[in-house]
Amino acid sequence: MILQTTTGTQYDSVINNCKQLFLKKAKDYGTAWRILRPESITDQIFIKAQRIRTLEEKKVSKVNEGIIPEYIGIINYCVIALIQLELTENDPVELPFEEVERLYNLKIAETKALMEDKNHDYGEAWRDMRVSSLTDLILMKLLRVKQIEDNKGLTLVSEGVEANYQDMINYSVFALIKLEAYN
């Protein structure tokens, strides 16, 4: 029980940092991301995950940013994807700031609840995993989402894209906790 409280507190700390950045960008740029098609959001997340993997393997960055900002980017782009799944083409491109914040909070609350359920069932196994394994799981989830998108959203027995985006958020939060960025 103590670990779950710690996990919940650490989770909230990571998400608070991600949310603050997201909201600052929403003030700067509005919701220009609303123009992105689902496939474009998936590809943006893929670029970030692939960069993390490259940095993990090469240990050298030519751009003056490490992997922490990339995990934050994955989290925020996954939230964008989850919001886009809820909205339709009839919804405006520019959303009011308060609505953006409400949707962000809603999608994170749903995702955290999923994490708590899975964390209970898996016994916090992620704590014994390597960060590189979390990166690989994110990349695997991205390939699954790409396949589902290529299949026009149709699946026979698999979970849909929403669950995959939620898992990517949770894996990214776990990676950031393990990197001790939020302890």
Task: Specify the pLDDT at position 113.
Answer: 97
Spell out the residues 6+ positions from residue 108 whose beta carbon is closer than 8 angstroms to its own. Answer: 15, 19, 79, 169
What does the angle CA 177 – CA 113 – CA 25 come to, to the nearest 5 degrees? 60
Task: Specify the pLDDT at position 4.
Answer: 53
Cα maximum dimension of the chain: 46
Compute the average pLDDT of residues 19-41. 97
Contact yes or no for 22/76 (Cβ under 8 A): yes
Provide the pLDDT confidence category of residue 62 given band limits of 50, 70 and 90. Answer: confident
HSE of 26 in the Cβ direction (CA atoms, 13 Å)?
24
- Which tops the pLDDT comparison, 66 or 84? 84
Q: Report the alpha-carbon distance of residue 176 to residue 104 in Å, rounded.
A: 19
Contact yes or no for 134/111 (Cβ under 8 A): no
pTM, whole model, 2 decimals? Answer: 0.93
Where does 30-130 have alpha helices with state H?
Answer: 38-58, 67-86, 97-122
Residues 169-179: pLDDT tens digits?
999 999 999 99
Tokens at 36, concatenated:
């992105």
Task: Specify the pLDDT at position 104.
Answer: 98
Residues 107-164: pLDDT tens digits?
999 999 999 999 989 999 999 999 999 999 999 999 999 999 999 888 888 888 999 9
- Phi/psi-derived region of residue 87, left when phi > 0, alpha when psi is between -120 and 50, beta in every other case: beta
